[in-house]
A = this chain, B = another copy of it.
Amino acid sequence: MEIVKNPGKEKWFELLKRPARTDEEIQISVREILKDVRKNRDRALKKYTKALDNAYVENFRINKEEFENLSRDVGEDLKQAIIRASGNIEKFHKAQMPETVTVDMGNGLTCWQKPVPVESVGIYVPGGSAPLFSSVLMMAVPAKLAGCNSVYLATPPDSSGNINPAIVYAAMISGVDAIFKVGGAQAVAAFAYGTETVPQVNKIFGPGNQYVTLAKQMVNAEGVAIDMPAGPSEVLVVADSATPADYVAADLLAQAEHGADSQVLFLTEEEKMLEKVNESVTSLMNELPRKDLVEKSLESSKLILLENNDKIMEMVNEYAPEHLILACENADEMAEKVVNAGSVFIGRYTPESLGDYSSGTNHVLPTGGAAKGYSGVNIDSFMKKITFQKAEKSGLEDMGEVTMIMAGKEELQAHKLAVEIRLATKKQLL
């Protein structure tokens, strides 16, 4: 990993740049897949599933009645772990549940804002060698809690056309209504447009590779709601020398193993930590099965020395990391100063992997600096807040004049007329 000492502020922009990702070819093929699925529906899904997942699938849909049978191979220890993690996720997201806000505006005018669940949501979960069943919990548990009517899951099948049993089990535990055996951009297209088998949904969630991310962005530009732009995972760790270097190294490696395009940063105000952490990373890395991915990811990663904690927090907020670990003496104080981050891990006993699985917080988080403008997935993500207003005649009399003056100046005569015509009615209507 590259070591950088006390970089001047003019160098921060370059230093904090994420690895760039623009691939014209991927754009073209995603656009083609979207068009094809929109037009040829299930037939297109079958074609891409054969071509890209090397699987022949006759029926994409798995109904919830089949979940129990398809997940019976999941070991008892994993089942119990999934149940406990799911319990924590439910507990934390339930506490976030918004309530109706009602305001008496005076004189017979009342306004309220009511949270209403999104009716149908589509959740995408990557498949492949390492099935991300934890992501199923992170999205389906709050979706059901919010009250979404239909919660659908899409995930690519293996080459025999099957879904990993742990994914099916997580779906069952969290109340998913149906699973669709389809992956990639074609899954996103199916949720966006609907096919004979896959229902069209109101909002699409979930992480994925570049194809999935681009497909989500493209259907979003067409008006379909999505959770957020999701790119490669990243972590920023802050530690002092009272934190064992191998804690930090393990946290950095945990992020790096997500993929070759993951980015990890380490910030400290103690110079001796730089080498210690670097050495520990090198030594721990050799034990990891995903060593190749990790090495690639560490190429774009940095260990940075800064003058003091204020500078550290300044850089944290400038970078806006998806995950922020504060493993140092005054972590609580520093946490108060966090302005831009997805999820924050405080103290020496809170590794980021706790949030990935079991603490109860959500692991679907804004990446690539999006934390400056986006929240991670939370209960709000599955609801719309609709506003209501009701005026008695007195309320309209009270605010009518103001409305007419403003409408008149904006040259919207009919807006003015809608008030005027009502106020002119002598008879009191019910």
Contacts and interface: CB of A to CB of B under 8 A. Distances in A.
A368 B223 contact: yes
Interface in A324-360: 329, 331-332, 335, 338-360
A109 B361 CA distance: 11
A388 B356 contact: no
Given A221-B221, A329-B430, A419-B351, A343 B384 contact: no
A131 interface: yes
A277 to B, nearest CB: 13
Contacts of A244: 421, 425, 429
A370 interface: yes
Interface string A39-83: 000000000000000000000000000000000000001101110
Interface stretch (A1-9, A155-163, A286-294, A300-308): A286-294
B430 A355 contact: no
A85 interface: yes
Interface string A224-251: 1100010000000000001110110011
A347 to B, nearest CB: 5
Q: Is the interface of A mostly helix, strand, loop or mixed?
A: mixed
B430 A116 contact: no
Nearest to A132: B410
A134 interface: yes
B384 A352 contact: no
B412 A254 contact: yes
Interface stretch (A177-185, A268-276, A373-381): A373-381
A410 B96 CA distance: 28
Interface in A375-425: 375-376, 378, 380, 383-393, 395-396, 399-403, 405-407, 409-419, 421-422, 425
A384 B373 contact: yes
Q: How many copies make up the complex?
A: 2
Contacts of A400: 354
Contacts of A190: none
A294 to B, nearest CB: 7
A418 B251 contact: yes
A369 interface: yes
Contacts of A131: 409-410
A244 B400 CA distance: 18
Given A353-B407, A425-B244, A415 B254 contact: yes
Nearest to A394: B349
B223 A370 contact: yes
A133 interface: yes
A254 B402 CA distance: 16
Contact of A347 (B224, B256, B362, B390): B390
A166 B247 CA distance: 58
A226 B359 CA distance: 30
A429 B111 contact: no
A92 interface: yes
Contacts of A388: 335, 338, 343-346, 361
14 contacts: A116-B338, A220-B221, A225-B374, A244-B429, A257-B412, A289-B413, A338-B388, A342-B387, A345-B389, A346-B390, A350-B391, A351-B419, A354-B396, A358-B402
Given A96-B101, A356-B407, 10 more contacts: A111-B360, A225-B372, A256-B414, A257-B413, A290-B414, A335-B388, A344-B389, A345-B390, A351-B418, A353-B412
